[in-house]
Amino acid sequence: MATRRDALKSLAAMAMGSTLSATGAAAATAPAMVSGKYGARKQPNILIFLTDDHARWLQQAYGNSEVKTPNMTRIAERGVRMLNAHTPSPVCSPARACFFTGRMPSQHGIHDWLEEYKDSYAYPWLKGQTLISELLKGVGYNTALVGKWHCGEDRYPHPGFDEWFCFWFAQYPHYGLQNFSDNGKHVTANGLQSPFLSAQAIDFVKGHYANEKTKDSPFFLFVGYTDTHSPHIEMPEGLVSEYDDATFRDIHKEEPQPCHGVVLTGISKDPKVERMKLQEYYAAASTVDREVGRVLDALEETMSREELENTIIIYTTDHGLNAEQHGIWEKGNATIPQNFLEESIMIAQAFSWPAGGIPEGLALDIPVNHCDLFQTLLDAAGATPDETTARKINSPGRSYLAHLRGDNSNLWRSEVICEYGNARMMKQDGYKLILRYPYAGIQFENELYDLKADPQENVNIYKEPEHANRVASMTKAIEAFFAVYTVPGHSGLELAKQPQATPASPWLHAIKLQKENKLPEGLLVKPGSSA
C-alpha cells in the first residue's frame, strides 16, 4: 500500500480515446465552441467548490460580521451572489446526489446520508443513472472529483470522471491519518485533510495544462471539503484562536420549541464546551476559505488571463446548518421528526464567469437548487443532453444562466420544494408547508408557518381555518410535482421497500423513541384522524 499520493497520472490515454457526446456522437478532439446570445466562445472550464455543512449565514458575503472568509467573498464579488438558493434535501448524500444527477431524492433514490462502511456498498445507489460528469466528458471535458462524494462506494471511481481522489473508508478525521482513494488505489497521508485535497485539485489543473492531450480541452473540477462537518474539532489552532474574542452575535439563539419535535443534537450545558464548538466551526469556515484561496491563486498562476476569465467558479454547499439557532446543532436530522428549518435548507452560492457575460457584484433573488445548478452548468458547457437522455433524467431543474447574465425576461417559478425521507416541503408566497407521511405506523403532524410573521417558525398554523385554502392549494402543488418527479421504487413515501441508507435515519429513530415512550403525543397524528 502506498503511503503518499504520487503526482496525478498522465491523462493522455483517456484523452486519446473517443467518448460519446451528449447527443451520441464521438467527441471532437479540437476545442468545441459554445454559441449563444453572447457570441461563440470556447467551452468554459468549470471549478465548483461544494463544501459540507457550511451554513449560508457563516459567510462574510452573506452578512456574517465576525467570520473571516475573504476568498469566498472574492468569488461573490467577481460574479453573482444567489440570495435564494436552497438544498433539495437538508442532509449530505441526497443533496449531493441531486447535484450529480439533476434529480430529486424520489428520483435518484438516496434519502439519507449513506453509512460509509457498510450501507454505502450494499446497494448500487446511483449506478445506471446519468451523472453530470458523463455529460460533460461526452462533450470533451477533462473531469476530476477531489474530496467528498458520499453517494455510494466512495473508493471506486464513478462514470465520467477521468480523475478520482476521494475517501477510502470515510471522510474522517479532519486531522490525523487520512485514508484516500487515488483512482481506486489506497493511499495515506497524515495531517489536516483539506490541504491534501487542495494539493490534488491544484495538481489536476497544472497537469491539465501541462499535458498536450488535454491542454486545449475544457476541464470540470469538483472539490468537496469537509472541515465544516461535525465533529467540530481539530481545526488549526491559529485559526481557532482568531475567534477568542468573537461574540457570535450573528447567531439567533433560542430554546428549542415543541413544534420542532424531539431534539437529537442540542446545545451543551457547559458554556465552555459550547463556545469552543462555535470557535471550531467558525475556524472550519476560515480553513476552507484558506484552501479555496490556495486553489484560486494556483489558477491565476497556471492559466492565461483569457482561460481564467473563461472559467466558471462556484462556491456552494450541500445544505445548511444550525449552530445554536432554534436551540439545536446540525441540519435536517437534528430533530425527530426531520426538520426543514431555514438554517437547514438555505445555502450559499456564488457564481463567477467573466467571459460568459456574468456581471460583477450582482445579487439574484430567484429560488434555485442543485437540480437547477446541474442544468445551468450543462447549458453553459454546451452539454445539454439529447431528448432521449433528457427524458430519462427527467430533471425538475432549469438553467438560470440567462438570469445570471442579468436577463430576467423569462418567468421563473416562485416556489421552493424540498424532501427528506417521508416528509416534503414547499415554500411559497412567504409560507412554508411541511407534509409528513406515515412510516411503520408512525405519522407526525403536518406544519404550516408564516415566515414573515414568524421567521423562527415557532407557531404551527396548519390547522387554523383561515389557512385551509392555502394548505389545500400548496398540498395539491406538492402532489402534482412529485407525480412527475418520482421514479417507481425510489419514492420517499415508500421507504420500507427501499434499501437502508443509515440506521440513524429520522424515521427509524422515531420507531426507537416510540418504543421508549419518548415521542410527545402532541407531535403525532392520532389514529383515525388526518394530519
How much of the chain is helix, strand and coil, in % rounded to 5? 35, 20, 50
CA separation for the pair 325, 346 (Å, rounded):
14
pLDDT attached to residue 527: 74
CA separation for the pair 162, 217 (Å, rounded):
13
pLDDT attached to residue 40: 54
CA separation for the pair 492, 472 (Å, rounded):
21
| Whether 502 contacts 112, CB under 8 Å | yes
Q: In what order do the strands lie in the sheet with 431-436?
A: 416-420, 423-428, 431-436, 447-450
Residue 113: helix, strand or coil by DSSP?
Answer: coil
Looking only at the bridges linking them, the beta strands covering 142-147 and 219-224 are parallel
pLDDT attached to residue 31: 55
Along the 531 residues of the chain, how does pLDDT read in single tens digits?
333 333 333 222 222 222 223 333 223 344 576 655 555 569 999 999 999 999 999 999 999 999 999 999 999 999 999 999 999 999 999 999 999 999 999 999 999 999 999 999 999 999 999 999 999 999 999 999 999 999 999 999 999 999 999 999 999 999 999 999 999 999 999 999 999 999 999 999 999 999 999 999 999 999 999 999 999 999 999 999 999 999 999 999 999 999 999 999 999 999 999 999 999 999 999 999 999 999 999 999 999 999 999 999 999 999 999 999 999 999 999 999 999 999 999 999 999 999 999 999 999 999 999 999 999 999 999 999 999 999 999 999 999 999 999 998 889 999 999 999 999 999 999 999 999 999 999 999 999 999 999 999 999 999 999 999 999 999 999 999 999 999 999 999 999 999 999 999 999 999 999 999 999 989 999 876 666
Whether the link from the prior residue into 337 is cis, omega within 30° of 0, is yes
CA separation for the pair 393, 376 (Å, rounded):
15
CA separation for the pair 65, 49 (Å, rounded):
23
- Of 83, 86, 85, nearest to 425 by C-alpha is 86
- Of 186, 139, 184, nearest to 157 by C-alpha is 184
